[in-house]
Amino acid sequence: MPFPSTRWFLLLLLVALWGSAFAFAKIAVESIAPEWTMAGRLIAAALLLLPLTLLFRDSLPRDMKAWSWFALLALVGNIAPFFAIGWGQQHVSSALAGILVGFTPIVTLAIAHFFLEEERITPRRALGFLIGFAGLLIVLGPAALKDLSVGGERLLGQLAVLAGACFFAANNVLARRAPEMPLLVKSSGVMLAGALAGLVAASALTPPSSLADASTTALLGLAGLGLFSTGLAAIIFFRLIDMAGATFVSLTNYLVPVFAAIAGYLIFGEELKLRVLGGLALILAGIAASEGWLNLIRKETPPRHSPPSALPPRQR
């Protein structure tokens, strides 16, 4: 069994990798179209992971079942949520988008209850997730809720961002249920499938020739987004999913906005409000409540049971 602090170290590392995506993306989209930013990050991730897979003498599977899973995880975990959230943010504020994406842990908890026997909803876990969400509201500012709309394009934008959160939640559970295979094989397979699909989608929307106008700084931002926030993050994500479960990994969605706010302060000189630190304290309290104080120091891997028949069983 891994050292008890391993999953917490990986969780914080994943938060840092995903949280840095905001800074990298902000640099990239200055002269790169959003659809090519999406495709480019997946292509860069695949270019990182495929050589690593070969270096460790692993090989990608040739059976259709494995590639069906790769395509499904790439679609649900990358292409669909990136597109939905990116489109929705054209019509809603970034703060409100952060709150709507913050529903990911709660939706994950609900889906996992039905499809992951070892991750049933308990009163303690539900309370912890609600406390964490309250902390997220404080971090992003309760005033953002004033932007909620009941009609027009703003409502469609809100629904799109919320759909992105649901995609992220579904991906957490799907990743837990995916067939077992070497970590690098799974990570590189998903990124390759996503890169191919993203390349086709981006080319259909904007000619590849538009990349000729990209600045060196934007290309470096795209490289960072792909190599660190997507490629390396994929390895950590799948490892942590297998080690600690879908609901535990979903807690990153409460912590990522905090990291992004701190990174914005350190890198771009943006204002760091006191409420961010107060919200962080409440988020950490929610995580502690959901996991149980004793679990913070001793529990590592949730037991696995035979999965329900709604999805194919994991390969042993």
Give the C-alpha distances (Å, rounded to integers) separating 237 from 18, 137, 149, 209, 211. 10, 25, 34, 33, 30
Question: pLDDT exceeding 70 applies to what percent of the chain?
Answer: 90
Q: Which positions ≥6 away from 146 have C-beta within 8 Å?
A: none
Give 151's DSSP letter: S
Residue ranges in 61-121 assigned as alpha helix (H): 64-74, 80-88, 94-101, 104-115
Mean pLDDT for 62-90 is 90
- The whole-number pLDDT of residue 150 equals 67
Q: Per-residue pLDDT tens for 106-116?
A: 999 999 999 99
Q: Per-residue pLDDT tens for 272-307?
A: 788 888 999 999 899 888 876 545 444 444 544 444
**Other C-beta atoms lying within 10 Å of the C-beta of residue 45:** 29
Q: Per-residue pLDDT tens for 154-213?
A: 888 889 999 999 999 999 999 999 999 999 999 999 999 999 999 999 999 999 998 999
pLDDT at residue 12 is higher than 80: yes
**Is 271 in a helix, a strand, or coil?**
coil
Q: Which positions ≥6 away from 63 have C-beta within 8 Å?
A: none
- The whole-number pLDDT of residue 148 equals 74
Q: Which pair of structure tokens corresponds to residue 224? A: 């960072």
* Cα(241)–Cα(304) distance, integer angstroms: 12
**Averaged pLDDT score across all residues of the chain:** 86
- The whole-number pLDDT of residue 219 equals 95
Which residue in the block uniquely carries the two structure tokens 């629904």? 159
Which residue, 290, 265, 275, is CA-closest to 19? 265
Q: Per-residue pLDDT tens for 231-256?
A: 999 999 999 999 999 999 999 999 98
* Cα(289)–Cα(42) distance, integer angstroms: 35
pLDDT at residue 50 is higher than 70: yes
- The whole-number pLDDT of residue 191 equals 97
pLDDT at residue 315 is higher than 60: no
The residue with greater pLDDT, 267 or 219, is 219
Q: Per-residue pLDDT tens for 83-112?
A: 888 788 778 877 788 888 899 999 999 999
Mean pLDDT for 259-267 is 80
- The whole-number pLDDT of residue 182 equals 94
Domain spans of the chain? 6-205+217-297
- The whole-number pLDDT of residue 153 equals 79
pLDDT at residue 57 is higher than 90: no
